[in-house]
Structure 1
Amino acid sequence: MDIKMIPPEDYCQVHQLRDYCFPNKYIGARREDFQYWIEHSITLGAYDGQKVVGQLLILPLNITVHGKSYAMGGIGFVATYPEYRQQGIIKKLMTAALLKMRENGQSVSVLAPFSVSFYRHFGWELFFEKLHYSIPKMLFPNFGKQLDVIKRMSFECRDNGLYRDIKDFHNLQALTRNGGMLRNNAWWQRIERRMPDSHLAAYFNSDNVAGYIRYTIYNEIFEIHDFIAEDLLAEQAIWRFVSSHAASVTSIKGITSSDHHFGFHFKEPQFKREVVQDVMIRIVDVLSFMQQYSWQEMQEPLYVRIEDSFCAWNEHIFKINKDGNVSIVETNSIPAMHMLALPINLFSAMMIGYLSVSEAVEYAHKQLTQELIERWQLAIPTEKPAFYEYF
């Protein structure tokens, strides 16, 4: 089985494999969008002769980790034909993908798993608890009457100036939110192709965007796909706008983070909520990742040994100096009591802020002194990540 980059003359086979293995066939704008990402991603294929029998795409994206934007490989459209399964094809594709991402400087990878245990085996780990909510009309948020400055547009009837302001606001906020993703024009075009009926509404404070939502209205359901506000006043103004649709919609649906005290300031916050875990993260290149990391308080150097059976370049002992400089230590003379040792999946979840140090150590079935746990916890920012993009 040959694993290689799929050339343009075989792109039609990528479409065929995707359409066969996924529940809905892409047509129209969605097919155009998929074609764009085939052309602009690292598109790997497993070949049986001239036939593409397995594939995955590595989308060139980014993720903000504690204030730093990292090049990120978004793994998507992983598939093999049924008659070729159980032959290790996906393992070969994933191994090749990790090497490609490292070569391209993508030190982090994110994917949406069809099986958590399957991708955990390759070093990815859950890192975000997404809260789906549904608010019936009788419980719509009520923040009183106030004349807010709201400007609205849709993809079908675009206001180019407003659209530019919203996109700029989104990226400014993404840089300040752990787990945020900067959206370039290509990503906004993807959203438009996949959800052409979207509306966007922005709240303005002193002539500047202070919050926005992207939403659709179908079958009397007001569904929110983006909701970003810079403060509580902006959030309340947007909720006033949403609730103003009460005459034409019967429920509000959306997603937020389970770590956010969602609905706490609503008069009636007792509505349906469901927590979903559908994204996983992996550090591809530990040295590169930690060299860029926003280290916090350190009184003395820290040491960590990484266990990573799929990325030999990560299987080292790393030293983090008080100034944040990170290097590989070529010795095993460091006493275990002075060193953190973790598998790559738990290390990844810990470094992005999803797991505390003590939780990562416990799940890894390791022994570590309380003093060292506390030193590591002081060195790592504590903000929980929130990642809402889908690919």
Structure 2
Amino acid sequence: MNIVKLSSENYEEAAHLSMYAFQYELSAEELEKQKKKMETQHILGIFEEGKLASKLHILPFEVYQHGKRIPMGGIASVSSYPEYRRKGHIRGLMTTALEVMKEKGQLLSYLHPFSIDFYRKFGWEIFSDTRNMTILRADLSIPESEGKIVRLHKGAHHPDLQIIYETYAQAYSGMLVREQTWWRDRLQSWTPAIYYSPNGKPEGYLLYSVKESKMKVAEFMPLSHEARKGLWAFIGQHDSMVEKVEISTSLSEPLPYIMKNPRVQMEVFPYFMARIVDVEQYLQQFAWSANVHTPIKLRVKDPVAPWNHGIFELTEDGVRKVVADSNEEKVIELTINQLSALMLGYKTVKELAEVEAIQGNQAELAQLESIIPNQSTYFPDFF
């Protein structure tokens, strides 16, 4: 199986494969924009008889984690024509993508799964949930707020959106570092509204749309409780225009608690998946919450990326891969999936131990738990 990096002469063929696999159409203008975006992507493809049969895209991103910006490779547009499926193409592409991302120094990788079980086989694991609420008009309210809302035009960008977003993102693990071009594309579908405190400080925003008596809120990001009340009041002011509001938030957002009727329809579902691409380098740069006084050994199982398969020793001097010792007793065992969920903050050591997803003696597990910062995950984006 010959896997190659696609060049510009293959971009249109790649776009047509995406359109076929994901069942959408692009106008001539949209196709040119799509091909322009491909210039920044690393696209892997497999050809059969001179025709593109399967492909995937690696998008260059960074994500925030514990005050750092971590390079991340976003896997997208994984697709094959039906006549070439079940030939091992996707396995080959995913394995090669991991090698490419390692070479590029992309320590993490994210993807949006069509099947969670399918991508778990390649080491990706759920790392973020999303909560969607449906609120009827009768349950809207308008709390008092001393600040003001500045509503922008649909698609309009304002520097304060970035300021609020970056501050908000520091409270979570794994949120995307948004560049100007990302904001431009994100705002094409949404109207921004920014909350300012009485002294003029930007303290929250939401992105929303109103259509056919329904308000959709894609992002609800307050930095203070006053901002939360102000944004909720702004939503409530639409009570004469909408019959219901659909709002997406993080699981830790306390908005339901201040609603007059918190018993609204809520749906929580797994959203994005992530995996560590290079265990040694990722753990080396990780912002541990305490010093490693006693060495901790992690035996990681990663059959897809052999450089991650083995024992890694954590000491106060850093992290290194060590030669396996058959007599080693004080070793914590887990898969790359579980290590990824643990280090990103989606699951704790205690939670993994409860479902037998991590093995080790109590003292070792307790020490590992004590040095991993406690921070929730959230990912409001899509690619």
What's the secondary structure of 2:39's corresponding residue? Answer: helix
Q: 2:177 aligns with which of 179, 182, 187?
A: 182
Aligned pair 1:307/2:292, yes or no? no
> In angstroms, what is the RMSD of aligned CA positions?
1.9
Provide the residue aligned with 1:321 in structure 2: 315
Aligned pair 1:54/2:79, yes or no? no
Provide the residue aligned with 1:348 in structure 2: 340
Q: Distance in 2 between matches of 1:221 and 1:30?
A: 28
Q: Structure 1 residues 320, 42: closer, same or farther in 2, change over 3 A?
A: same
Provide the residue aligned with 1:274 in structure 2: 267
What's the secondary structure of 1:10's corresponding residue? Answer: helix
Provide the residue aligned with 1:358 in structure 2: 350
**How many aligned residue pairs are there?**
381
Q: Distance in 1 between matches of 2:357 and 2:265?
A: 36
Q: Structure 1 residues 135, 147: closer, same or farther in 2, change over 3 A?
A: same
Amino acid of the structure 2 residue aligned with 1:238: L
Amino acid of the structure 2 residue aligned with 1:151: V
Aligned pair 1:380/2:372, yes or no? yes
Provide the residue aligned with 1:96 in structure 2: 96
**Map 1:159-198 → 2, pairs under 5 A:** 163-193=158-188, 195=189, 198=190
What's the secondary structure of 1:40's corresponding residue? Answer: coil
Amino acid of the structure 1 residue aligned with 2:372: I
1:208-253 Cα deviation digits (max 9, x unpaired): 2110111111111111111111121111111111111111111111
Provide the residue aligned with 1:295 in structure 2: 288
Q: Distance in 2 between matches of 1:202 and 1:365?
A: 43
Provide the residue aligned with 1:105 in structure 2: 105
Q: Structure 1 residues 28, 202: closer, same or farther in 2, change over 3 A?
A: farther
Provide the residue aligned with 1:9 in structure 2: 9
1:326-365 Cα deviation digits (max 9, x unpaired): 12222416622x2211110011001111111133345455
Q: Distance in 2 between matches of 1:256 and 1:7?
A: 39
Q: Structure 1 residues 32, 387: closer, same or farther in 2, change over 3 A?
A: farther
What's the secondary structure of 2:235's corresponding residue? Answer: helix
1:121-178 Cα deviation digits (max 9, x unpaired): 000001122111110000014313x44221121245x4x6xx1121232123223422
Q: 1:250 aligns with which of 236, 243, 256?
A: 243
Q: Is the 8 A contact 1:134 1:251 kept in 2?
A: yes
Aligned pair 1:234/2:237, yes or no? no
Unaligned runs of 5+ in 1: none
Aligned pair 1:339/2:339, yes or no? no
What's the secondary structure of 2:173's corresponding residue? Answer: coil
Q: Distance in 2 between matches of 1:220 and 1:189?
A: 26
Q: Structure 1 residues 83, 372: closer, same or farther in 2, change over 3 A?
A: same
Q: Offset at 1:277?
A: 1.0
Amino acid of the structure 1 residue aligned with 2:153: S
Amino acid of the structure 1 residue aligned with 2:169: A
Q: Offset at 1:30?
A: 5.2
What's the secondary structure of 2:298's corresponding residue? Answer: strand
Unaligned runs of 5+ in 2: none
Q: TM-score, normalised to structure 1's length? A: 0.92
Q: Distance in 1 between matches of 2:311 and 2:97?
A: 24
Aligned pair 1:370/2:362, yes or no? yes
Q: Is the 8 A contact 2:101 2:107 kept in 1?
A: yes
Amino acid of the structure 2 residue aligned with 1:264: Y
What's the secondary structure of 2:256's corresponding residue? Answer: coil
Q: Distance in 1 between matches of 2:32 and 2:216?
A: 25
Q: Distance in 2 between matches of 1:210 and 1:130?
A: 22
Q: Is the 8 A contact 1:141 1:268 kept in 2?
A: no
Q: Distance in 1 between matches of 2:254 and 2:161?
A: 25
Amino acid of the structure 2 residue aligned with 1:148: G
Q: Identity of counterpart residues, as a percentage?
A: 30
Q: Distance in 2 between matches of 1:364 and 1:312?
A: 24
What's the secondary structure of 1:109's corresponding residue? Answer: strand
Aligned pair 1:150/2:145, yes or no? no
